[in-house]
Amino acid sequence: MAPRRSHAEPVPTATSGGATRAWRAAWRREPGRAAWTAIAIGSLCVMLGAWAWATRPGGAIPALFLPPPGDVAASFVRLVSRPYLGSTFGAHVLSSLDVVIGGWLLAGAVGLPLGIAMGWWRRARWIAFPLFQVLRPIPPLAWIPLAIVWLGIGEPARIFVVFVAALVPWVMNSMQAVHSIDGLLVRAARTLGASDRQILTRVVCRTALPTLVAGARIALGNAWTTLIAAELLAATSGLGYIALNASRTLEMGILLVSMLVIGVLGAAFSFGMQALARVFAPWSRGART
């Protein structure tokens, strides 16, 4: 392929065929670990530098459009040092975590047994699966107005919406996990004299565990995303509430800090669940889905 020219590396003079070939080959090779890290850090620094340069006083981008990195850092300090919108930053974060974990666990308590039953018993699947097929295309966010009319703008409405968002991945993954188990394992267990209950608990649930954990991870991700939207619409605390308020009062630094914290927590959930999968189901080779 034609060599791509970048400013970071010397442009080849390409007088000899060998140099061109080496240049081409370099583009098709994964850089080593050290080079990888160096390029990654360099790329981040360049982006940060470009951000700072473009938003400098008198720069191309006004601070009201995108504040300079220094302002964002200052806003972070301001946010954690003094209460904002009635409570400390920690309390806002806790309020968000409260709802997301509550709704997620509630959905798991309903969805996990339901999904396993739907995967295991054909009749349960026949009855419940079509209902989910009908309800699934409705985005969880579309439930927010209904939740507000039904339950007001308090915490129950948010827990309900998070529950709806998390329920579908819990159910679908558990069902898939149990349903797709190799029938050979079940028959082998039966041949060895295992009862139905033993097969369900000792063979099926364990084999399905990696997929179940993957479902839990997706459910948590959905729950988090949905909660932020719910907090934008109906809340008196939480990170989404901070973000909406900061945008109304044009405190761009605080808005960006709240977005970053939302992103960091979302990433922490995802990586935490992956770590959990490695602890509870070490036999899963890599995380699927």
Partner 1 sequence: MSASPPLAPPSARPRAAVPAALIVGAASIATLVVAWQVVAMAGIVPARVLPTPLDVALRFATLAVETFSGSTLEGHALASLTRWVIGAACAIALGIPLGVALAWLPPLRPVIAPAFELLRFIPPFAWVPIAVLWFGASTTTQALIVFIAAFPACVINAHLGVSLVDPILPRAAAMLGAGGVATLRRVVLPVAAPSIFTGVRIAFSNGWMALVGAELVVGKQGLGFLISQGQINDSVTTIMVGMIAIGALGALIDFGFQRVERAWLPWLAFGAKRAS
Among residue numbers 196 through 255, which ones bind partner 1 (CB under 8 A)?
A: 199, 204, 211, 218, 221-222, 224-225, 228-229, 232-233, 240, 243-244, 246-247, 250, 252, 255
Note whether 288 and 214 are within 8 A (CB).
yes
Q: In a 3-state reduction of DSSP, which class is residue 87? A: strand
Which residue of 72, 116, 117, 181 would you call a contact of partner 1, by CB under 8 A? 181
Bridge partners of 87? 84
For residue 102, with 0-12 CB atoms within 10 Å meaning exposed, 13-18 middle and 19 or more buried, which class applies?
middle
Q: Closest approach of Cβ 139 to partner 1, in Å?
A: 4
Q: Which of residues 62-101 bind partner 1 (CB under 8 A)?
A: 64-65
Q: Which one of 71-79, 93-101, 108-116, 173-181 is the stretch in contact with partner 1 (CB under 8 A)?
A: 173-181
Interaction of residue 28 with partner 1, rule CB under 8 A: yes
176 binds partner 1 (CB under 8 A): yes
Tell me the number of residues near partner 1 by CB under 8 A.
90
- Could you give the count of Cα atoms lying within 13 Å of 21 in the half-sphere of its Cβ? 3
Q: Is residue 30 close enough to count as binding partner 1 by CB under 8 A? A: yes
Of 19, 40, 73, 275, which one interacts with partner 1 (CB under 8 A)? Answer: 40
CB under 8 A: which stretch of 12-20, 38-46, 72-80, 276-284 binds partner 1?
A: 38-46
- Member of 20, 259, 274, 284 binding partner 1 (CB under 8 A): 259
C-beta of 108 vs 119, nearer to partner 1: 119
Query: Are 159 and 109 in contact, with CB atoms under 8 Å apart?
Result: no
Q: Contacts with partner 1 in 111-140 (CB under 8 A)? A: 120-123, 125-131, 134-135, 137-140
**CA separation for the pair 115, 212 (Å, rounded):** 10
160-186 in b/e form (b: 16+ CB < 10 A) is bbbbbbbbbbbbbbbbbbbbebeeeeb
Residue 4 in the binding site for partner 1 (CB under 8 A): yes
Adjacent-strand bridge partners of 272 = none
Q: Which residues pair with 84 in a beta bridge?
A: 87
From CA 51, how far away is CA 60, in angstroms rounded?
A: 10
What is the footprint of partner 1 within residues 137-166 (CB under 8 A)?
A: 137-146, 148-150
